[in-house]
Amino acid sequence: MKLVSISGTFESGKTTAIKSLITILSGRGFRCAVIVNEDGKETYDPDFIHQHQVTVEYLRGG
């Protein structure tokens, strides 16, 4: 198992980077999961999550 940690300020492109990695890795047959640790109210696009079969876990107040 490999782990990638992505952090950054608001509007720095974290979600774009994560979606790009998931698209590339799932296209190569890898399974992906995302752990979200932030207080924001935004969630990931459910259609994208379903299409790429990604597991998402949310940690609140982290």
pLDDT of residue 40: 62
What is d(CA 11, CA 30) in angstroms, rounded to the nearest whole number?
A: 27
The string of pLDDT tens digits covering residues 42-56 is 666 778 888 888 888
Q: Which two tokens stand for residue 54?
A: 């990604």
pLDDT of residue 42: 62
Question: Average pLDDT over the chain, rounded to whole?
Answer: 83
pLDDT of residue 2: 84
Domain boundaries, the chain: 14-59
CA distances from 25 to 17, 22, 41, 61 (A): 12, 5, 26, 29
Long-range contacts of 5-13 (CB under 8 A, 24+ apart): none
- Full-model pTM: 0.72
**Size (the chain), residues:** 62
What is d(CA 56, CA 35) in angstroms, rounded to the nearest whole number?
A: 6
Q: Please determine, for residue 27, whether its predicted confidence score (pLDDT) is greater than 90.
A: yes
